[in-house]
Amino acid sequence: MTNEPVDSGPAIDPTETFDETESITVPILLYHHVSDTIDSQYNVRPARFAEQMKWLYDRGYSTVTIADVASAIRYGTELPARPVVLTFDDGYLDVYQNAYPILQQYGFVATFYIIANTVDAAGSLNTRKLQKLLASGWEIGSHSMTHADLTTDSDWENEIINARLVLEEKLDTEIRTFAYPYGKANDALKTYTLNAGYSAAVGLGSIMEHNHNTLFFLHRKEIKSWYELDFFEEFMPWTD
């Protein structure tokens, strides 16, 4: 295939720039596993995750979704005074088992980026559990069909468009935002994702100020296994 943008109706012109004084401040955090049994830098143990969520709650943070951030940037939709986005990548079952109950305690929600071809597979979430998260206020986003590196030779139509269609059919909900596999994207990929009909897309990085110019590469700070609360004290914008 040729990775040409598709016509999906009106969209923000990717060549247009906007006044960055219109930026909004929202820290976006990225998690993968939340488990007591996985030895990986991408795993946060449930007890530590619970400490982190309590830290946020005690300091008045309110969770919003990536779709909420996109709406605030595009249309000026109001966000709470201290917004934070919690995102999880890939669709691991332990997020549902361990992170979800902790978030429920604080009335928190998250955005869960799902690899479309893993739904209902062993070790990943099934359709019923994903629908339960949706009913609890979570956002489900697309993390591609197979988690291929989309900056190399890959089938963008399948990874970006078909993945969305698969998730929408399984979950009976609109999939509005996209997470680039490995947090990597070039300008052509951003344009294709925009024209595929997504309202925003996320990558990796530490910037917390977001605007129209960054809508298709919103920075997310990856939370590693060794991060303790001093990281939150140093990184988060509101600490009192």
Q: What is the pLDDT along the chain (240 residues), one digit of tens a residue?
A: 334 433 333 344 544 444 444 899 999 999 999 999 999 999 999 999 999 999 999 999 999 999 999 999 999 999 999 999 999 999 999 999 999 999 999 999 999 999 999 999 887 899 999 999 999 999 999 999 999 999 997 899 999 999 999 999 999 999 999 999 999 999 999 999 999 999 999 999 999 999 999 999 999 999 999 999 999 999 999 999
Q: Is 228 helix (H, G, I), strand (E, B) or coil?
A: coil
Report angle CA 70, 198, 75 to the nearest 5 degrees: 30
Determine contact, residues 109/63, Cβ cutoff 8 Å: yes
Gap between the terminal Cα atoms of the chain: 52
**Does 57 fall in a domain?**
yes
Q: Residue 11 to residues 74, 165, 213: CA-CA distances in angstroms?
A: 11, 19, 13
> For position 169, what pLDDT does the model report?
97
Beta bridge partners of 153: none
- The residue segments making up the domain with residue 214 are 23-235
> For position 154, what pLDDT does the model report?
84
**Does 1 fall in a domain?**
no
**Does 11 fall in a domain?**
no
Q: Is 84 helix (H, G, I), strand (E, B) or coil?
A: strand
* Domain CATH code at residue 50: 3.20.20.370
Determine contact, residues 15/227, Cβ cutoff 8 Å: no
**Does 9 fall in a domain?**
no
**Does 34 fall in a domain?**
yes
Please give the tally of structural domains in the chain: 1
Indicate the pairing of strand 221-222 with strand 139-142.
Answer: unpaired
Rounded Cα distance, 87 and 84, in Å: 10
Rounded Cα distance, 44 and 218, in Å: 22
Residue partners of 230: CB distance under 8 A and separation at least 6 = none
**Cβ atoms within 10 A of the Cβ of 50, count?**
19
Rounded Cα distance, 229 and 208, in Å: 18
> For position 7, what pLDDT does the model report?
32
**Does 6 fall in a domain?**
no
Task: Read off the pTM.
Answer: 0.91
Determine contact, residues 179/201, Cβ cutoff 8 Å: yes
Rounded Cα distance, 75 and 54, in Å: 31
> For position 47, what pLDDT does the model report?
98
Largest CA distance in the chain: 52
